[in-house]
Amino acid sequence: MHYFFIIVIWLLSISTAWADCWLQAEKMFNIESELLYAIAQQESAMKPGAIGHNRDGSTDLGLMQINSFHMKRLKKLGISEKQLLQDPCISVIVGASILSDMMKIYGYSWEAVGAYNAGTSPKRSDIRKRYAKKIWENYRRLKGIPAEEKNKRLSIAVNE
């Protein structure tokens, strides 16, 4: 019984610490934690050690599936591939930073959310919209928004 109590306390501390990561990212980048969580659901199915291999030869790493394209910049900041895979908090913060960069281009919008995954090329507009629709569905469920209601918080409608 004593070990069970210790394990429960340990699991609660991990959950609390992980929850703090989402809130820290929200405060740092002024992006709703639920939106970041919705992205992580889509990107890695909430698996911190997830690795994705892309057709273009790049690799996506960790909870937020940070593309290897970003590693040159991240290494200058002291962030390694190993950290992205082993520390979910680092992945969340880096993912929020990348989404924040997209929001500097597109504003706080579903277009920016789509660019998190598909990039900024005008040729990838349809891919951005498809990705944003997936995130909207995750976000909508997290927030308890009815399926027929469009999100008014982010500026472009993804339900068109």
- Taking only the tens place, the pLDDT of each residue in 54-76 is 999 999 999 999 999 999 999 99
pLDDT tens-digit map of 8-50: 343 444 444 667 899 999 999 999 999 999 999 999 999 999 9
Separation between Cα atoms, residue 38 and residue 122, nearest integer Å: 24
Tens of pLDDT along 81-109? 999 999 999 999 999 999 999 999 999 99
CB of 155 within 8 A of CB of 110?
Answer: yes
Q: Report how far residue 50's alpha carbon sits from residue 52's, in angstroms, rounded to the nearest whole number.
A: 7
- 156 or 80, greater pLDDT: 80
CA distance 122 to 142: 30
- E strand or H helix that includes residue 37: helix 33-44
Dihedral pair phi/psi, residue 131, rounded to 5°: -65, -45
CA distance 24 to 91: 12
